[in-house]
Amino acid sequence: MVKAAFLGLGVMGYPMARHLKAKGHDVTVYNRTTAKAETWVAEHGGRFALTPVAAADGQDIVFACVGNDDDLRQVTLGEQGAFKAMRQGAVFVDHTTASAGIARELHAAATAAGFGFLDAPVSGGQAGAENGQLTVMVGGDQATFDIAQPVIMSFAKAARLLGDPGAGQLAKMMNQICIAGVVQGLAEAIHFGKQSGMDIEAVIDVISKGAAQSWQMENRYKTMNAGKFDFGFAVDWMRKDLGIVLDEARANGAKLPLTALVDQFYAEVQAMGGNRWDTSSLLARLER
């Protein structure tokens, strides 16, 4: 068992920290809104800190799951940032979906200060976090990963080191590229079927047994068909992620025409007022 801190108690971080505590780790939490941290402690025990630097003080491992590059820089390198308190030999594990550039920046800062850093974005959504079944894509060095991996498995079903610093974020970008195309394809199929008068449930029951099957089809087609879009990952967050993807593609020369197009479609969903709808709301755009 280790002494751990968790920075960021959003829809992902709140249950991830809970799983750490349930596995017997000594957990201190920090959240920008202190009341949420107080609620977490009231429900699960442990302690809360008023600043990231206070939360990180004396910990073996510090986890973070915040909003974006700016948020991450604030809780690590800011005036009250956690990096100011990280002890020699400790590990900082970042689960934020952020840029590969900031992952490399923070890894360099951590190395210079004598502690480890892993960029470790996750896939599996809120349900995966709640159920402790996340998939974790990791960038960093093997020795640091070996220390952190058993603790990461408190809330994950799989965690794999994929390369040097930034590799975890690049893998998450690939994940989001795949999701964008699959969700758009499923939305178009359902829309096409409705326009043709088909029994959507019957058709999906058949085609989900073949090559068209996907996680999105299995988990989202019923809610999509019912016109309900309040399940899982929000459009605003998907656009944030796709913006990171497209920025990286401009830097590395990758051609992502489908991803760019789906990003535009999500912008249209936002213009419809669907900022907080889940990513399957691409169907709503087709049915306007």
Which residues have a catalytic role annotated? Answer: 172
> Rounded to an integer, what distance in angstroms lies between the CA atom of residue 267 and that of residue 173?
18
Q: Compute how many other C-beta atoms are within 10 angstroms of the C-beta atom of residue 15.
A: 22
The structure tokens listed for 191 are: 């829309």
Apex CA 107: angle with CA 105 and CA 110, to 5°? 110
The structure tokens listed for 6 are: 């968790």
Q: Please provide residue 51's backbone torsions phi and psi, each rounded to the nearest 5 degrees.
A: -140, 160
- With b for 16 or more beta-carbon neighbours within 10 A and e for fewer, the 125-164 pattern comes to bbebbbebebbbbbbbeeebbebbbebbbbbbeebebbeb
